[in-house]
Amino acid sequence: MRCFWDERQRAHAPTAEFFNGKLHPAAEHRGRVDAILGAIGPTEAPVDYGSEPLLRVHSREHLGLLRDAHCEWLAIGRDGDAFPYTFPIVGRRSLRFERIDARLGQHSFDTATPIGPGTWDACYWSTQTGLAALTAVLAGDHTAFAFTRPPGHHAGRDYFGGYPYLNHAAVCAEAALAAGTRRVGILDVDYHHGNGTQDIVAGRDDIFFASIHADPSTDYPFFWGHADESRGNILNLPLPRGTDWSGYAPILAKALDWLEKHAPDLLIVSYGADTHEADPISYFELKTGDYSPMAQRIASLGLPTVILMDGGHAVVALGANVAEFLSGF
């Protein structure tokens, strides 16, 4: 299987994130990079597909903010990473702000996703790796893997959060449709709900999104991912903390049946290894050996498949978990 990665993705180097009342070391840190690269073998760098595929999903304002925020942050005398601290809870009116703090809050939903000097470069090239994997699959490869880092599934059309800034799955889905694919399925198997993906694709009749994730009444992102949001092209399958493979497998079968019913021509998988028992910010009990059967069941759909990397923060097990998942295909 061809694997894609670009060294410029290392440029994103957050040191801290703010939650539970204090700063913690960033869970989506550069240590993840070598853990995964060391386990998956040779990778290829993407070509530059430009910003047009990004603009099918994201607003110009959002891309501009990601590109400029850190420079503006420094320009007003701040140091370190740029953090939002206030959010438009009363509504996201189309107000225009100069003030960087207002714009950061307007385009984000948490304080765990700072913008540093290398963030824009890293997330731009992260999306390009996704597009490279898609291009390989559209050209005839049955399966390809993009090590998208920063990850993507929490990012909406014009907001970042949960470590993602750009939604690679949505960008790839739109690019596939633009290239002539008729229907795209997206399966999200990260521990957390892919709220950004759901938000972007809701209501579509050509993109079908199924997500298996921790119950948002106990887990991030809390405000999205509940079972009663399922309708039309969206299927949410929340599971309780403590779920192991015996509880996970039948729900995966349900998600795959639902996707198959919608007859996609292409599958995009948002793979998060944070369902592993050792993940420091997650509470499922999957073991490394469970990822191969998980992948085999997904592969049994027989669809051309683009695999994108989302979460996974247990660095000691991360490489093995990713390699095990890919081996299942």
Q: Return d(Cα 211, Cα 255) in angstroms, integer.
A: 8
- Spatial CA neighbour of 282 closest among 327, 226, 224, 239: 239
Least Å distance, CB 307 to Zn ion, is 15
Q: Is 109 in the site for Zn ion (CB under 5 A)?
A: no
Type of residue numbered 315 = V
Find residue 328's DSSP bridge partners.
none
Interface with Zn ion (CB under 5 A), residue from 83, 191, 248, 284: 191
Neighbour tally for 229: CB within 10 Å: 17
Type of residue numbered 140 = G
* Residue count of the chain: 329
Instruction: Answer for the pair 127, 53: CB distance below 8 angstroms, yes or no.
Output: yes
Q: Is 215 in the site for Zn ion (CB under 5 A)?
A: no
Closer to Zn ion at the Cβ: 274 or 285?
A: 274
Instruction: Answer for the pair 286, 246: CB distance below 8 angstroms, yes or no.
Output: no
Q: Is 262 a catalytic residue?
A: no
Catalytic residue among 12, 62, 70, 154: 154
Q: Is 192 in the site for Zn ion (CB under 5 A)?
A: yes
Which span sits near Zn ion by CB under 5 A: 39-47, 136-144, 166-174, 184-192? 184-192
Q: Residue 53: which H helix or E strand, with range? A: helix 52-55
Q: Is 279 in the site for Zn ion (CB under 5 A)?
A: no
CA max distance for the chain: 55
Q: Is 62 in the site for Zn ion (CB under 5 A)?
A: no
User: In the complex, which residue's CB is closest to Zn ion?
Assistant: 311
Interface with Zn ion (CB under 5 A), residue from 114, 221, 264, 311: 311
Closer to Zn ion at the Cβ: 43 or 211?
A: 211
Residues 126-145 that bind Zn ion (CB under 5 A): none
Report the interface residues with Zn ion, using CB under 5 A.
190-192, 272, 274, 311
